[in-house]
Structure 1
Amino acid sequence: MKAAILTAPNEISLSDIEMPNTNQGDVLIRVRAATICGTDIRIYRGRKTAGVRYPSVLGHEFAGEVLDNGGHDSLKIGDRVGLCPFIACGHCRLCKTGHENLCTQGTAVGYEIDGAFAEVIRIPAQAVEAGNLRHLPDHMSYEEAALVEPLSCVINGQNKLDVSSADSVVVLGVGPIGLLHVKLARLRGARRIIASDPNAQRRAAALEAGADVAIDPTAEDLVERVKAETGGHGADVVICAIGIPALARQATDLAAFSGRVSLFAGFSKGVFAEMDVNGIHYRELTVTGAFGLSRKDFDHAFDMIASGRMDVKPMITHRFALDDIGEALGTAEDGSAIKVAVLDE
């Protein structure tokens, strides 16, 4: 089978390899659609190393059809399925206290387990038994199902912020993740949503996704504009949807008294950011991180997309065959696309 093999930072190539070896209960899935995540780019460029192996196969946002059901009665050959790609251990303190996304004993597809930038992927029996696989309804495309994973992460992040109809929300960076934050904040009834991004295409996409205002931070003073848009108060919620250290400081400047700030995006290893600690203290700001997803988040996101309450179809702007994985990664990285899909053709 064909797979995109990462052999070192900045080195990925298409190769013919053996089909995955399976253990009892493992399932094989033919990948029909896999979307490229910003984390895939960070791993590819060597800016993220935790859990990364060489050689390995990236890709954790995907859906496909069952080739080998591993003896599971709940699965049939040809079934269309999506996967929650993080497999928590289920028995550690974090898992038992409702924080399985933080499980340090877990494994993840596209990290410790070879991922979806391949024709076929192996799903461990543990994931199947834990309910990580979901059957796709007939009307749900493979591309839509691939986007369940990033939406799950966004749901996790906004749950920590308790976004509601009372809130004004600023999203810093409206790439794919930022756009999902805009969409979810709009669905949750946020009273005003302000998007910030220097990319004109992405600002336009944010307005289409439900933002009330889209600002170019290189063309005007973002802090002053946000104050003007919020009656001088600042934003109730500020979400850093891109891992640029300067935005961490800016987020505290943008937040209103008693505001909430999410450092949602991952930052490169070893990077430190300045924040206004006096602002956090005197204005009683809450600053939180958000990492990954749980099966609960995945199921919530799956149902939102499957029901049509969350329309993610417009987010796929570019499509490539697996043979063109290098071009696909380059397009995802250069900012010319919203979301890039790698398809089985």
Structure 2
Amino acid sequence: MLSAFLTNFKTIELKDVEIPEPSDGEVVIKVQSALTCGTDLKMYLRGHPKFNFPMLFGHECSGIIYKVGHGVKNFKEGDEVMFANSASCGECYYCKRGDENLCVNLFESIFFGAYSEFAKVPARIVGKNMFHKPKNLSFTQSAFLEPTSCVMNGIRNLNVRDGDFVLIIGDGAIGLIFALAIKKLLNVNLIVAGKHAERLAVAKKFGADFILNSSENEFEEKLNEITFGIGPNAIIECTGKPEVWEKSVELVSKGGEVILFGGCPAGTKVNFDATRIHYDQITIKGIFHFTSKDVKKAYNFLSDNSTELIELVSRKYRLNQIQEAFERLAVRDGIKYEINP
């Protein structure tokens, strides 16, 4: 079978390798759809702090079960499935507190290898975060389970009231999934800010009440007008840029909340005004990954709302075109790409 390996920065090689054999509790799937992700792009551009070259990559996918390992009870060969890319151990301090996304053993069960003809799914994922694909979902729609799970974690941690103003900064895939989910699940006034007219148009299509070009000089003035001079009650930062982290704390209303979703490179330092945080009672939350409950919520959400998300798939490539796909993705041409074997 063919699998895509990151062998160096900005270098992807297709290798002909053996179809993996599932161990106890594992399954091997025949990949039907794989989607690019911001994490994949970061790995392509700068590697991964926990993994060395050469490495499999890609983690948003769906497929058909090709082979099951001993002890797998809920799935069989031929089943169409969708899954998230990790599952917690259930035994560590954080898991027992209910903070599964902070599991100290999370990377023991991480899934990479979506950009392959076949892929092996770890037992923990099979047991906790794999689902039968609903008949009304395509494989492409099903592959959105992982990013939607992350978004559900963000929304679960969002403390807003009916009628509040929520600002999403960043018009990439995650920002747009947030936009769709927030308008479907919450009764708030949603503002989406970004720098790409075509992406902001998608945000509007997803139900955003206001869209703003964050690169315009009048951006803050327009935001102030929309929020009646108060500022957004909550800001969801989806760019992973330190200057946007800092600006978010400046822009949020008194008593407001800043959700820091976009990840910055390790070692990044940011500066916040301590007086502003203290006297204006600003809450700052980092958001990472998901719990099994978030995955289940995402699964239910996609079952009813996945049609719109196809808007985020800008291009489709075959597996043997993956280097070209990431070269194009690196210059921010489009939102997400689908890579098919």
Q: Measure the CA separation in 1 of the matches of 2:64 and 2:306.
A: 24
1:19-50 deviation per Cα after TM superposition (whole angstroms, max 9, x unaligned): 2243233211011111111011111111x523
The residue number in structure 2 matching 1:223 is: 220
Are the equivalent residues in 1 in contact too, given 2:88–2:124 (CA < 8 A)? no
SS in 2 for 1:174: coil
Are the equivalent residues in 1 in contact too, given 2:86–2:111 (CA < 8 A)? no
The residue number in structure 2 matching 1:192 is: 189
Shift of 1:113: 4.6
1:81-137 deviation per Cα after TM superposition (whole angstroms, max 9, x unaligned): 01121121110011111111111112267xx55421111111122332x32210011
Which one-letter code corresponds to 1:119 in the other structure?
E
Q: Measure the CA separation in 2 of the matches of 1:23 and 1:256.
A: 52
Matches within 5 A, 1:131-280: 131-280=128-277
Q: Measure the CA separation in 2 of the matches of 1:17 and 1:24.
A: 21
Are the equivalent residues in 2 in contact too, given 1:304–1:310 (CA < 8 A)? no
SS in 2 for 1:86: coil
- Structure 1 pair 281–202 and aligned structure 2 pair: CA distance change class (3 A): same
- Which of 296, 301, 304 is residue 301 of structure 2 equivalent to? 304
- Which of 118, 125, 138 is residue 120 of structure 1 equivalent to? 118
Q: Measure the CA separation in 1 of the matches of 2:215 and 2:143.
A: 33
Which one-letter code corresponds to 1:184 in the other structure?
A
Are the equivalent residues in 2 in contact too, given 1:169–1:190 (CA < 8 A)? no
Over the aligned positions, Cα root-mean-square deviation in angstroms equals: 1.7
Pair 1:326 & 2:318 matched: no
Of 155-164 and 254-263, deviating more is: 155-164
Which one-letter code corresponds to 1:39 in the other structure?
T
The residue number in structure 2 matching 1:42 is: 42
Shift of 1:274: 2.0
- Structure 1 pair 199–308 and aligned structure 2 pair: CA distance change class (3 A): closer
Which one-letter code corresponds to 1:269 in the other structure?
A
Which one-letter code corresponds to 1:279 in the other structure?
R
Pair 1:66 & 2:69 matched: no
5+ residue gaps, structure 1: none
Q: Measure the CA separation in 2 of the matches of 1:175 and 1:114.
A: 22
Shift of 1:291: 0.2
The residue number in structure 1 matching 2:13 is: 13
TM-score with structure 1 length normalisation?
0.93
Q: Measure the CA separation in 2 of the matches of 1:202 and 1:311.
A: 13
Q: Measure the CA separation in 2 of the matches of 1:222 and 1:278.
A: 24
Q: Measure the CA separation in 1 of the matches of 2:188 and 2:73.
A: 47
Shift of 1:324: 0.7
Q: Measure the CA separation in 1 of the matches of 2:330 and 2:152.
A: 24
Q: Measure the CA separation in 2 of the matches of 1:336 and 1:79.
A: 35
Shift of 1:187: 1.4
Shift of 1:311: 3.3
- Structure 1 pair 212–134 and aligned structure 2 pair: CA distance change class (3 A): same
Which one-letter code corresponds to 1:75 in the other structure?
F
The residue number in structure 1 matching 2:92 is: 92
- Structure 1 pair 82–65 and aligned structure 2 pair: CA distance change class (3 A): same
The residue number in structure 2 matching 1:340 is: 337
Shift of 1:286: 0.4
Which one-letter code corresponds to 2:195 in the other structure?
P
1:193-239 deviation per Cα after TM superposition (whole angstroms, max 9, x unaligned): 11111111111111111112211122223222211101110000101
Q: Extract structure 1 runs of 4+ deviating beyond 3 A.
A: 308-311
**Identity of paired residues, percent?**
31
5+ residue gaps, structure 2: none
The residue number in structure 1 matching 2:104 is: 104
SS in 2 for 1:256: coil
SS in 2 for 1:304: helix
Matches within 5 A, 1:273-292: 273-292=270-289
Count of aligned residue pairs for this structure pair: 340
SS in 2 for 1:235: coil
Q: Measure the CA separation in 2 of the matches of 1:229 and 1:315.
A: 27
Which one-letter code corresponds to 2:321 in the other structure?
D
Shift of 1:312: 1.6
SS in 2 for 1:185: helix
Q: Measure the CA separation in 1 of the matches of 2:157 and 2:117.
A: 36
